[in-house]
Amino acid sequence: MNRKLLSLALLGSTILGGAAAADVTLTIESWRNDDLVLWQDTIIPAFEAANPGIKVKFTPSAPAEYNAVLNSKLDAGSAGDLITCRPFDASLALYDGGHLADISNLEGMANFSDVAKSAWQTDDASASFCMPMASVIHGFIYNKEAFAELDIKVPETEAEFFAALETIKADGNYIPMAMGTNDQWEAATMGYNNIGPNYWKGEEGRLALIAGDQKLTDAQWVAPYEALAKWGEYLGDGYEAQTYPDSQNIFTLGRAAIYPAGSWEITGFNAQADFEMGAFKAPVQNAGDTCYISDHTDIALGMNAASPNAEAAQTFLNWMGTSEFAGIYANALPGFFSLSNHEVAMEDPLAQEFVSWRGECESTIRSTYQILSRGTPNLENETWGASVAAIKGSKSGADLGMELQSGLASWYAPHK
Amino acid sequence: MKNSGIKWHVIVFLAPAVLVYTAIMIFPLFNTLRLALYTEVDQVRQFVGLENFRTLFGDPYWSGQFWNALGNNFWFFFIHMIVQNPIGIALAAILSHPRLRFAALYRTAIFVPTILSFVIVGFAWKLILSPIWGITPDMLKALGLKWLYAPYLGKEEYALTTLALISVWQFVGIPMMLIYAALLSIPEEVLEAGEVDGITGFASFWKIKLPLILPSIGIISILTFVGNFNAFDLIYTTQGALAGPDFSTDILGTFMYRTFFGFQLQLGDPHMGSAIASGMFGIILIGVCIYLFGIQTRLRRYQF
């Protein structure tokens, strides 16, 4: 008797539950557990208000485990409807494996430039499988008080840049530039790929390198190493053993004047530094040259090909192409800039400074990320070592170009 | 019943150890050796025989890294042998001196780093040696030796030696303890007999104690060898998987890790990684065999 009652009650609850769940619930897989509050309090309510009938759940996992967790969930068929995409090969492998749906034809896609979409496309750009969310921009953050004290104008050209460094060094109160080579990646990411696009003319050079029309031994690819070689004397004493957190601390403590940066530093620096900061973009060779900035695609959202709620998922992806989403996301996370073509007003002055360069300069992404780091030796990892060697002066730019070129040519057909 | 031949109690007592050891040591070992013979093409595992080893030793990119790592490994081992073990023996000899006060305190203090985590040791030394926040530059300056300071961990020429010395600092307690135990087991009568013959002080150490502890020194050498060629943690925690600067601190362990699990944009290659791991296994096996058949059989042992 009791058991019958219980089963009746259970049965009743499923019916009731079913009625309540007429709403579609979308689940988002992500590695951005830092952003949980932002999604729950801001992004999801905004979406749900605009799209009644669709509920969204944000279920992040730890960044280091994300790829492994996601792969096993996809294989087991238990992954969420929307999947946060890492740039380039990691997501491409998911698309090739049939886990990500082709969303090239979604109307939201029209709001993104080709560069923005490049990180989540097949090599021939025929299919796009993730809606771009945000990028990080490279440049230099500087201590405004130090610049005012030493009466330095914000440098526009390379000559002005080195003149500024020289002035700071001669004064001796500040370390001219806060960067170390211990962790290696800063030298490549904030060094080579920060100043490089001005030499290889952004996308033009990057695509020519992928196509095999330019080589890493060409002047435009070697010159950034020669510029980096001049950085060594302006980094602090013992920069060889200086780590990334060391550099961040040196700058935010006000001991250094310039910090070669990525825009993701903005939030942390705003919290740490008690002086006013400004930003300038990578210097061009001659005044008036077209400038190029590294506007690196970092995060996107794709759709699980096996999702039972494809229609609702597409609605969400299209909403991500709107200026509403762009505005919410960019302002909640200053330093992660919307990749869409919408004008987004940023409240953070430093972030606004960074994003304003998009209007003046051509955008490109890091030269080593697409296709070129698929083989062994891995061009990105090799570039880390090469940039460090350039800064330390242990190898000349020409030698580094030759080494990298022979490594790339050993496995990449267009360069053979 | 008595002559059934099968000694069940032996099997029962051995079973737990054999099962556990097989499951977590022997099986993975042979599986790693097996994995080294495969490769993955278009997400399908294929048998390729010794192809991975041919790449490892024949391809200049791979073999360059391998020999670099092996050379660094030998240097790492060499520093341990000429610094750690003599200091360990000297400390043990001093500690076993009957009139030394606070011997237990010294013994504990010197042994404590051995039980610390690599992460703590690596981080602490990184801070001590840091050119920015570290106490080393200031201390050397106070002694008037500022010219001796360099960002040791960031310079190709010093980084590996510095790390080897950090590792020596951490592990010097182990040879000290083993030798200390060996020294304590030398009977007083032997030393007294020597004294009667006029062998005292340093002479008694060189002529009586040292020959008696030689087997322990042999064991320590082989433990150091195996430990150093399997080393990974300290380098990884201080210098990262790329074992900078410019691979100057890259040893077989970090090279294997980087290859097996991948790094940054480099995807992991379990098959190449297994080939390197097999190489490490071979090197350690050869080293241990040289010791067992070449050295240990020639050591004279004394029974009291």
What confidence tens digit (pLDDT) does each residue in A149-189 have? 999 999 999 999 999 999 999 999 999 999 999 989 899 99
Is A153 found in the same domain as A214?
yes
Q: How far apart are CA A107 and CA A179, in angstroms?
A: 43
A159 plus A221 within the same structural domain: yes
Nearest to A182 among B133, B244, B263 (CB): B244
Rounded distance between C-alpha atoms, residue B5 and residue B13, angstroms: 17
A352 within domain boundaries: no
Identify the sign of the CA torsion B118, A188, A278, A356: negative
pLDDT at A12: 47
Structure token pair of residue A134:
């945000």
Residue in A182, A378, A389 closest to B154 by CB: A182
Tokens 């002559």 belong to residue: B3
Q: What is the dihedral of CA B216, B221, B224, B230, to 10 degrees?
A: -120
Place of tokens 């979406």: A47
Do A143 and A287 reside in the same domain of the chain? yes
The domain that holds A98 is classified in CATH as 3.40.190.10
In angstroms, what separates the C-alpha of A79 from chain B's closest C-alpha? 21
A274 belongs to a structural domain: yes
Backbone torsions φ then ψ of A165, nearest 5 degrees: -60, -40
Q: How many domains are there within chain A?
A: 2
Q: Please indicate, yes or no, whether residues A185 and A248 belong to a single structural domain of this protein.
A: yes
Q: Inform me whether the C-beta atom of residue A406 falls under 8 Å from chain B C-beta atoms.
A: no
What tens digit of pLDDT does each residue of A333-357 get? 888 998 888 888 888 999 999 989 9
Is the CB of B267 inside 8 Å of chain A's CB atoms?
Answer: yes
Q: Are residues A206 and A151 in the same domain?
A: yes
Name every chain A residue with its beta carbon within 8 A of the beta carbon of B129: 241
- Residue A360 placed within a domain: no
- Interface probe for B, chosen from A67, A71, A240 (most Cβ of B below 10 Å), is A240
Secondary structure class of B77 (helix, strand, coil): helix
- Candidates B126, B132, B245; nearest CB to A238: B132
Q: How many CB pairs under 8 A join A and B?
A: 90
Mean pLDDT value of segment A286-314: 92
Tokens of B300: 């004279």
Q: Which helix (H) or strand (E) segment is A227 a member of?
A: helix A219-229
DSSP for residue A342: S
The Cα of B297 is separated from the nearest Cα of chain A by a number of Å equal to 46
Average pLDDT, chain A: 89
Residue A351, domain member (yes or no):
no
Closest of A253, A241, A255, A261 to residue A183, by C-alpha: A241
Task: Please name the member of B129, B246, B247 whose beta carbon is closest to the beta carbon of A241.
Answer: B129
Cβ within 8 Å of B, A 346-375: 368-369, 373
Instruction: Let me know if residue A359 belongs to a domain.
Output: no
Q: Is B152 on the interface with A (CB under 8 A)?
A: yes
CA distance B128 to B108: 22
Quick one: pLDDT at residue B223? 93
Among B155, B265, B276, pick the best mutation site for testing chain A contact (most A Cβ within 10 A): B265
Token output for A272: 């740490």
pLDDT band at residue A2, thresholds of 50, 70 and 90?
low
Predicted pLDDT at B4: 62
Q: What is the mean pLDDT of residues A231-236?
A: 93
* Pair A179, A259: CB distance under 8 Å: yes
Rounded Cα distance, B40 and A21, in Å = 45
pLDDT value, residue A341: 86
Fold held by B58-298: MetI-like fold (1.10.3720)
Where do runs of H (alpha helix) occur along chain B? 8-21, 27-35, 51-58, 60-79, 85-95, 103-111, 118-129, 136-142, 156-171, 173-184, 188-196, 201-204, 210-229, 233-239, 252-261, 270-289
Q: Does B282 touch chain A (CB under 8 A)?
A: no
Residue A21 above 60 pLDDT? no
User: Within 10 A of A163 (CB to CB), how many other CB atoms are there?
Assistant: 14
- Are the Cβ atoms of B245 and A240 closer than 8 angstroms? yes
Q: What angle do helix axes A310-320 and A323-332 make, rounded to 10 degrees?
A: 70
The minimum CA-CA distance between B195 and chain A, rounded to whole Å, is: 54
CA distance B150 to chain A (A): 7
Alpha carbons B136 and B126: distance in angstroms, whole number = 10
A128 and A160, same domain (yes or no): no
Per-residue pLDDT of chain B (304 residues; tens, 9 = 90+): 455 678 888 999 999 999 999 999 999 999 999 999 999 887 788 899 899 999 999 998 999 999 999 999 999 999 999 999 999 999 999 998 888 889 889 999 999 999 999 999 999 999 999 988 889 989 999 998 888 888 999 999 999 999 999 999 999 999 999 999 999 988 888 888 988 988 888 888 888 888 889 989 999 999 999 999 999 999 999 988 888 788 999 999 999 998 988 777 777 788 999 999 999 999 999 999 999 898 888 777 776 6
Say whether residue B154 is in contact with chain A using an 8 A CB cutoff.
yes
Residues A73 and A149 in one domain: no
Question: Least CB-CB distance to B151: which of A241, A249, A368?
Answer: A241
Pairing of β A24-30 and β A54-60: parallel
DSSP string spanning B156-187? HHHHHHHHHHHHHHHHTHHHHHHHHHHHHTS-
Q: Where are the domains of chain B?
A: 58-298
Chain B window 85-124: which residues touch A at a Cβ cutoff of 8 Å?
A: none
What residues are paired with A143 via a beta bridge? A277
Mutation pick from A175, A237, A376, A392 vs chain B, by most beta carbons of B within 10 Å, is: A376
Instruction: Determine, for residues B153 and A241 on separate chains, whether the beta-carbon distance falls below 8 Å.
Output: yes
**Interface touch B265/A380, C-beta < 8 Å:** yes
Instruction: Supply the ipTM of this predicted assembly.
Output: 0.81
Best of B41, B138, B266, B271 to disrupt the A interface (most A CBs within 10 Å) is B266
Alpha helices in A235-378 (DSSP H): 244-252, 266-272, 310-320, 323-332, 349-360
Same structural domain for residues A117 and A155? no
Spatial separation of the C-alpha atoms in residues B5 and A196, rounded to whole Å: 79
**Interface membership of A246 toward B (CB under 8 Å):** yes
A13/A109 same-domain check: yes
pLDDT in tens, B236-248: 999 888 887 889 9
Strands A82-85 and A292-303: antiparallel
Structural domain harbouring A208: 137-295+366-415
Taking 70 as the threshold, does the pLDDT of residue A61 lie above it? yes
Say if the Cβ atoms of B267 and A89 lie within 8 Å. Answer: yes
Return all residues near B280 (Cβ < 8 A) that are at least 6 apart: B229, B230, B252, B253, B256
| A327 and A187 together in one domain | no
Other C-beta atoms closer than 10 Å to the C-beta of A203 total 18
Residues A194 and A322 grouped into a single domain: no
The pTM is what? Answer: 0.83
Q: Is the pLDDT of residue A17 over 50?
A: no
For the beta carbon of residue A299, count every other beta carbon within 10 angstroms. Answer: 24
* CB-based contact, A169 to chain B, within 8 Å: no
**pLDDT tens digits, residue range B141-183?**
999 888 888 899 999 999 999 999 999 999 999 999 999 999 9
Instruction: Tell whether A17 and A156 lie within a shared domain.
Output: no
Measured CA to CA, the distance from residue A411 to residue B3 in angstroms comes to 68
* Structural Rg of chain B based on CA atoms: 24
